[in-house]
């Protein structure tokens, strides 16, 4: 295990790039390998067993790239597969749900927290459980917003369609009195301005990805695997199971990296469990 090995990030598509963006800022010495399973996106409506199988395929792909740590930068995959994968691997594996839950508890002033996510994430109850385990007094309102991911993956997040879909999706929160909303899907921060406009300035939006990167930083230190030889410039590599052109377009705009390229890979032949 070398400290210069990359950190592996995975997501059902481009959403995990919101976590990578934070990582590039907070951890400039670290190399990054990213796999987005765009071809099989969205994960949210799929059964848990399938999400778990796909997440293992992404995990095995990242292990083949020799990563030193794995970040499941996808709430759906975290809720379905984090516990199993973390227990099975010798390298650190972290998800996005606990950091988001912790940040929401810290941010709320009226103890009323909203959570939005994919169907699978909301159905799992993972955020609600994580919040209540730490702070029983919180009232949590959860809402699946199945249409948001497609708006982001189809690169329509600046369009009027986005505004309409967000208004419909957030409507259930209108009378809840929440002062904090967890964006419980790593695709959602791309829609952040649209959310904030609909919710007004008094609601704090929690980006679980940004919180996750603080945790990554601490764990790199804890396990003594942070790259402390910054003379070797860090590398970024992006892989997708879908269209590399579309992926690279969204990624280079979101990460503000010029000359970003993505490679297409096939995950379907990889094991759907620990090998």
CA distance 34 to 124: 25
Give residues with Cβ within 8 angstroms of 238, minimum separation 6. Answer: 34, 36, 247, 248, 251, 260, 261, 262, 263
185 catalytic residue (yes or no): yes
269 binds its own copies (CB under 8 A): no
Say how many residues touch its own copies, by CB under 8 A: 18
Kind and range of the H or E run holding 35? strand 32-36
145 catalytic residue (yes or no): no
Q: Is the peptide bond before 42 cis (omega within 30 degrees of 0)?
A: yes
Instruction: Tell which one of 1, 88, 167, 218 touches its own copies (CB under 8 A).
Output: 218
**Which of these is catalytic: 82, 96, 185, 194?**
185
CA torsion angle for 40, 41, 45, 51 (degrees, to 10)? 60
254 and 14 Cβ atoms separated by less than 8 Å: yes
Residue listed under structure tokens 């029983």 = 136
25 binds its own copies (CB under 8 A): no
89 binds its own copies (CB under 8 A): no
134 binds its own copies (CB under 8 A): yes
Instruction: Tell which one of 219, 237, 257, 265 touches its own copies (CB under 8 A).
Output: 219
Positions in the binding site for its own copies (CB under 8 A): 29, 92, 94, 98-99, 102, 133-134, 136, 215, 217-219, 221-222, 226, 228, 230
Give catalytic residue positions.
74, 185
Residues belonging to the binding site for substrate are 11-12, 43-44, 75-76, 186-187
């Amino acid at each position: 295990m070398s400290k210069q090995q990359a950190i592996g990030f995975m997501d059902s598509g481009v959403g995990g790039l919101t976590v990578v963006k934070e990582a590039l800022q907070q951890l400039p010495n670290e190399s990054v390998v990213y796999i987005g399973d765009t071809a099989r996106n969205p994960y949210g409506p799929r059964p848990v067993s399938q999400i778990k199988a796909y997440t293992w395929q992404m995990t095995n792909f990242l292990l083949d790239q020799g990563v030193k740590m794995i970040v499941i930068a996808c709430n759906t995959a975290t809720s379905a597969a984090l516990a199993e994968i973390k227990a099975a691997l010798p390298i650190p594996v972290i998800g996005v749900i606990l950091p988001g839950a912790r940040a929401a508890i810290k941010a709320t002033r009226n103890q009323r927290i909203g959570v939005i996510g994919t169907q699978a994430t909301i159905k799992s109850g993972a955020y609600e459980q994580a919040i209540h385990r730490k702070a029983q007094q919180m009232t949590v309102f959860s809402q699946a917003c199945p249409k948001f991911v497609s708006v982001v993956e189809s690169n329509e997040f600046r369009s009027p369609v986005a505004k309409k879909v967000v208004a419909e999706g957030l409507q259930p929160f209108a009378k809840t009195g929440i002062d904090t909303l967890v964006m419980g899907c790593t695709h959602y921060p791309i829609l952040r301005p649209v959310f904030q406009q609909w919710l007004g300035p008094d609601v704090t939006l929690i980006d679980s990805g940004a919180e996750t990167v603080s945790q990554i930083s601490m764990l790199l230190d804890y396990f003594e695997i942070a790259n402390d030889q910054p003379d070797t410039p860090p590398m970024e590599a992006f892989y997708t199971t879908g269209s590399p052109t579309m992926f690279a377009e969204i990624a280079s705009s979101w990460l503000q990296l010029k000359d970003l390229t993505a490679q297409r890979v096939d995950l379907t032949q990889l094991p759907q469990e620990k090998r």
